[in-house]
Amino acid sequence: MKLDSKIPSGPLAEKWDKHRFEMKLVNPANKRKYSAIVVGSGLAGASAAASMAELGYNVSCFCFQDSPRRAHSIGAQGGINAAKNYQNDGDSVYRLFFDTIKGGDFRSREANTYRLAQVSVDIIDQCAAQGVPFAREYGGTLANRSFGGALVSRTFYARGQTGQQLLLGAYSALSRQIAAGKVKMFPRTEMLDLVLIDGHAKGIVVRDLVTGKISSHAADAVVLATGGYGRVFDLSTMGLGCNVTAVYKAYKKGALFANPCYTQIHPTCIPHTGEYQSKLTLMSESLRNDGRIWVPKNKDDKRPPNEIPEEERDYYLERKYPSYGNLAPRDISSRSAKEVCDEGRGVGKSGYSVYLDFADAINRLGKEVIEQRYGNLFDMYHLITDEDPYQVPMRIYPATHYTMGGLWVDYNLESNIPGLFVIGEANFSDHGANRLGASALMQGLADGYFILPYTIGDYFGRVGAQNVSSDREEFHQVEEAVTAQTKKLLSINGKRTVDSFHKALGEIMWEYVGMARNETGLKKALEMIPALREEFWRDVRVLGESNEMNNPLEKAGRVADFLEFAELFAVDALHREESCGAHFREEYQTKEGEAVRNDKKFAYVAAWEYKGIGNKPELHKEELEFESVELATRSYK
């Protein structure tokens, strides 16, 4: 299979303009003849559904939550990047592009990343026009803060709830189109498979989570905006419903899965406390603007933090990376935390956490300023841990967060299956091997508001309206397969709960496919995952019926997909014999423990093709060509 990324020719800065001119347009009067399915209602899904409906297309939007407003984009705290240069501190489209490519450790596509930086400025305008209550200065202009991996202040924010406010903005635009009858919304409805007709994506099969009814929906194109797969680790910062099912089912239908091993471990989360734990709570990276990260210099120092004198503290990020300090990128910060804990210098009961200390900032700026900047985060921390971060340093530890990998897409955000578009976190396109903070919100909205509505029109213009009926044989076949899987899950009646399998999978992934990986561990994981999967299909217990609201049944379907997907994840991690961004292979590091990339062998996107359960997927390579940026070793020193 030849992967054609369809990157337009010409200078980097002119590609998107040129492409927009070359793409086919659909006559405004004809737009209502086309229909699109959007799966997911987060930043990418809601903004895409609303924008397409505004253009005149007929949109159906599906989400498993009870309301589109609850998609997990809502959890994002810190902010959204844009190259506005409102601070006059030397920012530009090119700098945002460069920071993103460098932050991604030179494993993303130049053209996509540049376009992302270009449209970032429009996003802020759009959101302000919708009434997103961004933070403001006294003069009434927008305020900015800094984020990891950047030396400029380009992050816009709405207290510690930026994701919530941007999502509610997109949700309001979506709501307006629902009221106008241009979007038909299907909440509490889960996509269980993709339907292809003559090789094109023309519909989906879904389960109504309230009645259990399986049904088919046809359209001229399908857009997946179903988020990331971090829950393959079980414990993560993701919402508990987040899953890989939609994209994994598309993968099984022939869509290529790109770079699944690029998974970000976020450095600032509330540490794990016990077996029962269902999720890890993120503390926004913006805290690193004012918080200083440290551990005791000596091993097993059990004194309370306030009794450890200054000279016996190791501010290890400031020591190792003097120019970026506490704002070093996420992958580096996470690994450094693991290192000091592995050395026995970690703090807290488990020894697996580090301090994030605001004492200096409170002395310098006063409690009030800190409260204004981070009040809700401090409150959340206090609620969960019963410790007051105004008095004692926070304790943090890395946790699985964002997944840079996803379905492979070309410049048009179209997968290798014609008519199947993938946007937001669900695709692989813009962040390479590591995403910078405050860039996920930017990408979700860039894809949904400003890229997909154009590129999907080009597809419609090329293939024409098809008026596919969901009564066709292809839909019936998929419905039967979906129904059969549901029946099977309910009939096993074994001994172990779905959650116990999910936990066991998470433990394998964290131990062997987590923050630092090696060949031996990955091979071990590749033996353990299929064994666990086999046990699942033999011994899982799912109670209840298929024709009712049945949570464990929903979860069982998702965990079944995670149990297959985990293997693909480990295969990718094993094949990539280099360390880059969030993918750290212990065999490939310098004496100081810095990652060693291998650009000669691995400067490509690894796109995997499904070859059957338990069979090795086939690797397809998209070589990354850098015309504008020189590949260099990342340095944040």
Partner 1 sequence: MNLTLRVWRQKNAQDKGRMEKYEAHDISPDMSFLEMLDVVNEDLIKKGIDPIHFDHDCREGICGACSLVIDGIPHGKEHATTTCELRMRHFKDGDTITVEPFRAKAFPVIKDLMVDRSALDRIIQAGGFVSVNTGGAPDANAIPIFKDDAETAMDAAACIGCGACVAACKNASAMLFVSAKVGHLVNLPQGKVEARERVGKMVAQMDAEGFGNCSNYLECEAVCPKEISVKFISKMNRERMKAAVKM
Return the residues of window 482-541 that contact partner 1 according to CB under 8 A. Answer: 495, 497, 499-500, 541
Angle among Cα 266, 288, 283 to the nearest 5 degrees reads 50
Q: Which is nearer to partner 1, 40 or 329 (CB)?
A: 40
Q: Which two tokens stand for residue 200?
A: 């094109």
User: Which residue from 377, 375, 381, 39 is spatially nearest to 191, judged by alpha carbons?
Assistant: 39
Report the residue number, 141 or 633, with the smaller CB distance to partner 1: 141
Minimum distance of partner 1 from residue 54's CB (angstroms): 5
Nearer to partner 1, 87 or 518 (CB): 87
The token pair that represents 41 in the structure block: 């209602």
- Binding residue (CB under 8 A) for partner 1 from 50, 332, 482, 566: 50
According to CB under 8 A, which residues from 160 to 219 bind partner 1? 161, 163-165, 168, 171-173, 175-176, 178-179, 185, 187, 210
Residue 158 or 337: the one with the smaller Cβ distance to partner 1 is 158
- Chain residues 378-407 in contact with partner 1, contact rule CB under 8 A: 379-380, 383-384, 386
In the complex, least distance from residue 270 CB atom to partner 1, rounded to whole angstroms: 9
Nearest CA to 305 among 396, 379, 398, 378?
Answer: 396
CB-wise, 185 or 595, nearer to partner 1?
Answer: 185
**Cα separation of 510 and 524, whole Å?**
13
- Of residues 259 through 288, those in contact with partner 1 by CB under 8 A are 273-274, 276-279, 281-282
Closer CB to partner 1, 474 or 499, in the complex: 499
Measured from the CB atom, is 69 or 585 closer to partner 1?
69
Near partner 1 in 109-138, by CB under 8 A: 122, 124-131, 133-138
Residue 14, interface with partner 1 (CB under 8 A)? no
Q: 15, 19, 31, 70: which one contacts partner 1 (CB under 8 A)?
A: 70
Among the residue ranges 7-15, 47-55, 102-110, 351-359, the one whose residues contact partner 1 (CB under 8 A): 47-55
Position among 8, 40, 45, 68 found at the interface with partner 1 (CB under 8 A):
68
Type of residue found at 584: F
Alpha-carbon distance of 488 to 260, in angstroms, equals 28
Instruction: Indicate if the alpha-carbon torsion angle 312, 314, 315, 321 is positive or negative.
Output: positive
DSSP-derived secondary structure for 609-629: E--STTSPPEEEEEE---SSS
Of 137 and 368, which has the nearer Cβ to partner 1?
137
Cα 80 from chain centroid (whole Å): 14
- Least separation in angstroms between CB 344 and partner 1: 24
Residues binding partner 1: number (CB under 8 A)? 81
Partners of residue 183 on adjacent β-strands = 59
- The DSSP letter of residue 220 is S
Sequence-ordered alpha helix ranges (H) in 398-547: 440-445, 452-463, 473-492, 498-512, 519-539
* CA neighbor of 422 nearest in space, from 435, 432, 412, 431: 412
If the CB atoms of residues 137 and 618 are measured against partner 1, the closer one turns out to be 137
Question: Of residues 419-478, which lie at the interface with partner 1 (CB under 8 A)?
Answer: 449-450, 453
Q: Which is nearer to partner 1, 303 or 495 (CB)?
A: 495
Q: Which helix (H) or strand (E) holds 185?
A: strand 183-186
266 close to 438: Cβ distance less than 8 angstroms: no
φ/ψ of 196, rounded to 5, equals -105, 140
The residue among 191 and 624 lying less far from partner 1, judged by its C-beta, is 191
For partner 1, the closer of residues 197 and 549 by Cβ is 549
Dihedral Cα 606, 612, 613, 619, nearest 10 deg: -10
Regarding 369 and contact with partner 1 (CB under 8 A), the answer is: no
Contacts to partner 1 from residues 309-348, by CB under 8 A: none
**Least distance in angstroms from the C-beta of 610 to partner 1:** 29
* Contact yes or no for 423/225 (Cβ under 8 A): yes
Tell me which residue of 596, 581, 79 sits closest to 333, measured CA to CA. 581
Establish how many alpha carbons lie within 13 A of residue 537's alpha carbon, considering only the half-sphere containing its beta carbon. 12
Sort 280 into a burial class: Cβ within 10 Å, 0-12 / 13-18 / 19+.
buried
C-beta closer to partner 1: residue 131 or 322: 131
Which two structure tokens, joined as six digits, stand for 218?
């046809």
What's the closest the beta carbon of residue 37 comes to partner 1, in angstroms?
19
Site string for partner 1, 80-99 (x = CB under 8 A): ----x-x-------------
Q: Least distance to partner 1 from the beta carbon of 143, Å?
A: 9
Give the three-state DSSP class for 74: helix
Among the listed residues 19, 72, 597, 634, the single contact to partner 1 using CB under 8 A: 72
Q: What is the rounded distance in angstroms from the CA atom of residue 515 to the CA atom of residue 437?
A: 18
Distance CA 407, CA 252 (A): 11
Per CB under 8 A, the list member of 19, 31, 69, 249 interacting with partner 1 is 69
Residues listed for the chain: 637
Query: What distance in Å separates the CA atoms of residue 103 and residue 86, rounded to the nearest whole number?
Result: 22
- The DSSP result for 259-286, as a single string, is -TT-EEEEEEEPPP--TT-----B--GG
Closest CA to 267 of 337, 357, 349: 337
Stretch that binds partner 1, among 216-224, 317-325, 376-384, 410-418 (CB under 8 A): 376-384
Residue 176 or 253 with smaller CB distance to partner 1: 176
Q: Is 548 exposed, middle or buried (0-12, 13-18, 19+ CB in 10 A)?
A: exposed
Binding mask 540-569 for partner 1 (x = CB under 8 A): -x-xx---xx-xx-----------------
Minimum distance of partner 1 from residue 205's CB (angstroms): 22
Assess 140 for contact with partner 1 (CB under 8 A): yes
Nearest approach in angstroms of CB 632 to partner 1 is: 33
> Looking at 13, 25, 142, 465, which residue binds partner 1 (CB under 8 A)?
142
* CB-CB contact of 90 with 66 (8 Å): no
Q: Which is nearer to partner 1, 74 or 340 (CB)?
A: 74
Residues 230-249 that bind partner 1 (CB under 8 A): 239-241
Here the tokens at position 516 are 């630092």
CB of 625 to partner 1, least distance (A): 31
